[in-house]
Every structure is written in C-alpha cells, then in structure tokens.
Amino acid sequence: MVQIALGLKRNGFDVVAIISGAGGGAAINSGADGGTAAALNKVGIPFVALPQQLFSRSRASAVIWRVPILRRLRKVLDALALTRNAARMARVLRSAEVDVVHTHSFHSMIIGRLAGALARVPIRVTMVATPLHLEAALPRRMDLFTYRLEHRLLAGCQYTNDLYAQHGVPAAVRQTVGYGADPSGFDPAAANRTRVRAEFGIADETWLIGQVAYFHPPLTGSMAPPGMEGRGIKGHEDLMAAARLVLDQRPDVRFLIVGDGSAEPGQRHFEDIKRLARELGIDHAVVFAGRPPRPDRRDRRPRHLAAVLSGRETTGARSSHC
C-alpha cells in the first residue's frame, strides 16, 4: 500500500492514507505509531488513523456472546460498530474531497466500500490481496453482499478472480492485477551473508531454511475456511511440523523465522508457535528473529531474506495472497 501511494504521489496525485489505529480521524498523521505509520512518514504520505474493526469489541458484546439466548443482540452491536466506523471514514473522505478510494485488506475493503458510498466518492476500487476470505462462509457473504458498491475489483491473482466468477461477479467488474513488491531491497548479492548468520549464531556451512511472515491470529468459526479452524494463515504450524521431520533426518539443519505478531492476538499466536517448537523438541534448531526493528532503525527483513537466499540455502515461505 505504501509503495502504491508513493507511486501515485510521484505521478502527480494528491494521496492521503487511512490506516488502522485508535484515532478519531480529526488530525493528520496522529493516532498511530506502528510500522505502516513510520513507512508513510518516511516517504511523506499524510495519513489518518481510524478504527477499522468489523465487529464490536465492547465489554457488553463480549458478555452477550457468552449467553446463547442473547447472541442475536450481538449482531445488532456488531452492525452499530461497523456503521460507526464507516461513518468516521466517510467524514474523512468528504473532508479531503477524495476522488478515488482504493482499499486493501478485508476489513478496510468492507468499511471502505460503505464509507465511499456514503461519501459519494466518484471512483471506488478494491485491491483484493488474498482469496482467503472467499473460502470462508461469513467474510464471503459480506464481500458478495457489498461488492456492488465498488466500480472495480482488482484480484491479486487469477485464482481470486476465478472465485469471484464462480460466485457470479460480472467480468466487467473484476480484473487480475498481480500483487507484487519492489524487489530492489532483496538482492542476495547486496547481503552480508556471514554477518547475518553470525548475528543469530548460525555457522557458515549450516543449511538454513527461512520463513518471513507476520504471525496473524488464528481463524475461528465462520471466519475460517475449511480446514483452517484455529490455525494461523501463514502456516507456521506446518513449518514446525515439517521441521521436526527434517531434523529427524538432518539434525544439523537450522530454521530462521523472521516476523512477529500482528497486534496483540497475533503476538499470542507468536508465543504459541514458540511453545509448539519447545513441545516438538526443536527449539534448539529454530531461531525466532522476532519483532522488526523500531521505526527509527533500518528494516532488517530484506537483508535477512537476501542472506538466506544467497549461497546454497533454500527458503520456505507461505503467503495468503494466492
């Protein structure tokens, strides 16, 4: 998203980003201090932080959910929360006199569609980064119920486009645009392989398998596709199970896991995976690089990945994009 915003800015567009945060949308560049905010500040893209939850997180809703007879009332609270967040975003879109709203990720897609329609934004586009929500009951219903508020769906891969076709979305609305990233920072030739390995205590001749991914919270209930109940979307559990099999045959192999939890639920999943490594007896062979550096430090992930890719190592990575 930051790369797209910067590209639009370089091509003469005025760009403002709306990112997830606790702010109320009243002030530019306030209410968020995470990695996205830092990246936007670095390239000079103004942003507004707004809550982007689809469901109510109030104490009342949590209590109601525990009482089966009252669970229908929870749906009312969820609808109110969604309406409130969409109205906040619509106010920002109107005040900034936005001509094009371009949303990313499932939560911002749903809220942005409602907000764009409320604000009567002339052009509304969604970049659909992953097919995952189309394979789960509740998010698929939410998407297919609201997609008519868009002018164009940009599927991140052909599989996502095909799923929309299967569910009756007209060809005129959807288009496949590959979901990519700037590879310039990931050149193995520019990485100091020896230094990165020394940083984590990995010998130069050791075979290394790496994964670079956030730890997102496991999916549950109707938000989970078949077979994904209680599992993280980046396959960290699968990698740990595979690591156990590899180490049975090659005890000298090591695994480098780069990334940390996405918000507090993701951080709990991160701790669960570290606990799983201990339970499988492989924690001695798995290096968790942990949280990316603070915004005032250079991002180490490109050189980590480049160092793993250089030489004779192999990499393993699972993405939810396609």
**pLDDT tens digit sequence for 119-146:** 999 999 999 988 999 999 999 999 999 9
**Of 164, 167, 186, 187, nearest to 175 (Cα)?**
164
When pLDDT is averaged across residues 69-91 and rounded to a whole number, the result is 83
Range(s) of the domain holding residue 217: 184-315
Domain boundary among 134, 149, 176: 176
| Structural Rg of the chain based on CA atoms | 21
CB atoms within 10 A of CB 182: 11
Confidence at residue 296, expressed as pLDDT on a 0 to 100 scale: 40
Domain boundary among 147, 176, 205: 176
Do 203 and 157 have their domain in common?
no
Do 101 and 168 have their domain in common?
yes
When pLDDT is averaged across residues 79-89 and rounded to a whole number, the result is 90
Asked if residue 136 belongs to a domain, the reply is yes
DSSP of 107-148: HHHHHHHHHHHHTT-SEEEEEE--SGGGGSHHHHHHHHHHGG
Do 206 and 304 have their domain in common?
yes
Confidence tier at 101 by pLDDT (50, 70, 90) = very high
Range in 137-141, 152-156, 220-224, 267-271 the model is least confident about: 220-224
Asked if residue 322 belongs to a domain, the reply is no
Domain boundary among 176, 211, 228: 176
> What number of residues does the chain have?
322
Asked if residue 41 belongs to a domain, the reply is no
Asked if residue 279 belongs to a domain, the reply is yes
Do 126 and 193 have their domain in common?
no
Asked if residue 6 belongs to a domain, the reply is no
Higher pLDDT, 54 or 153: 153
- Decide: residue 22, CB within 10 A, 0-12 exposed, 13-18 middle, 19+ buried: exposed
Higher pLDDT, 312 or 180: 180
Do 96 and 204 have their domain in common?
no
User: Is the CB of residue 123 less than 8 Å from the CB of residue 100?
Assistant: yes
Do 160 and 198 have their domain in common?
no
> In terms of DSSP bridges, do strands 174-176 and 152-155 run parallel, antiparallel, or are they unpaired?
parallel
Do 192 and 302 have their domain in common?
yes
Do 201 and 233 have their domain in common?
yes
Do 192 and 160 have their domain in common?
no
Asked if residue 137 belongs to a domain, the reply is yes
Each residue's pLDDT tens digit, 241-254: 999 999 999 999 99
Do 163 and 191 have their domain in common?
no
Asked if residue 125 belongs to a domain, the reply is yes
Query: How far apart are alpha carbons 82 and 68 in whole angstroms?
Result: 22
Q: Identify the CATH number of the domain in which residue 258 sits.
A: 3.40.50.2000
Task: Report the number of distinct structural domains present in the chain.
Answer: 2
Query: How far apart are alpha carbons 208 and 217 in whole angstroms?
Result: 26
Do 191 and 161 have their domain in common?
no
Sequence-ordered list of residues with C-beta below 8 angstroms from that of 248, at least 6 positions apart, any chain = none
Joined tokens for residue 213: 């991914």
Do 190 and 118 have their domain in common?
no
